[in-house]
């Protein structure tokens, strides 16, 4: 993984988007960040085959398409290289079903609970780079 990974944030909560972007910048993880308030917009962006993100922070509970719907569609986008993108699911949910579903999904590197802890995020990203 590059030293300044390209990260996209998908979350319907504007405050959390702001917060996560700030935390990622401040902690020095990256300053190359894009934000999407719906899964639909993020998917459209990825389909356009611009630069693919190194990391996706994906919220679980969102109206319309939730995080799992995002993954189902993402999996079937043609002609993109999913190898170099790491997905983390992020949620304040304590729902056992949500958490185990996130962890069981092969596309998901790990489940990170809100509020985002900078150290935890850094550790997760560095282990994913190995």
Q: Convert residues 18-37 into a mask of x (bound to other proteins by CB under 8 A) and - (unbound).
A: xxx-xx--xx---------x
Cβ of residue 33: shortest distance to other proteins, in angstroms?
Answer: 15
Does the footprint of other proteins cover residue 110 (CB under 8 A)? no
Pairwise CA distance, residues 106 & 32, whole Å: 26
DSSP for 57-108 reads EEES--SSS-HHHHHHHHHT-TT--GGG-EEEEEE----HHHHHHHHH-TTE
Site residue total, other proteins (CB under 8 A): 28
Q: Convert residues 66-95 into a mask of x (bound to other proteins by CB under 8 A) and - (unbound).
A: -------------------------xxxxx
- Tell me how far CA of residue 50 lies from CA of 1, 13, 43, 109, 121, in angstroms: 18, 25, 12, 23, 25
Does the footprint of other proteins cover residue 122 (CB under 8 A)? no
Does the footprint of other proteins cover residue 1 (CB under 8 A)? no
User: Which residue from 12, 34, 69, 73 is in contact with other proteins, where contact means CB under 8 A?
Assistant: 12
User: Which residue from 38, 105, 110, 128 is in contact with other proteins, where contact means CB under 8 A?
Assistant: 38
DSSP for 32-59 reads EEEEESSHHHHHHHHHTTSSPPSEEEEE
Sites of contact with other proteins (CB under 8 A): 12-16, 18-20, 22-23, 26-27, 37-38, 61, 63-64, 91-95, 113-118
């Amino acid at each position: 993984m590059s030293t300044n990974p390209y990260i996209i944030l998908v979350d319907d909560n504007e405050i959390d988007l702001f917060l996560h972007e700030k935390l990622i910048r401040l902690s020095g993880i990256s300053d190359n960040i894009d934000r999407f308030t719906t899964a639909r917009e993020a998917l459209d962006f990825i389909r356009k085959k611009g630069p693919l993100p190194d990391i996706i922070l994906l919220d679980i509970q969102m109206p319309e398409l939730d995080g799992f719907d995002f993954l189902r569609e993402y999996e079937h986008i043609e002609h993109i290289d999913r190898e170099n993108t790491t997905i983390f699911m992020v949620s304040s949910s304590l729902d056992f079903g949500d958490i185990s579903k996130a962890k069981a999904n092969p596309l998901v590197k790990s489940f990170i609970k809100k509020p985002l802890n900078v150290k935890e995020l850094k550790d997760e990203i560095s282990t994913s780079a190995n």
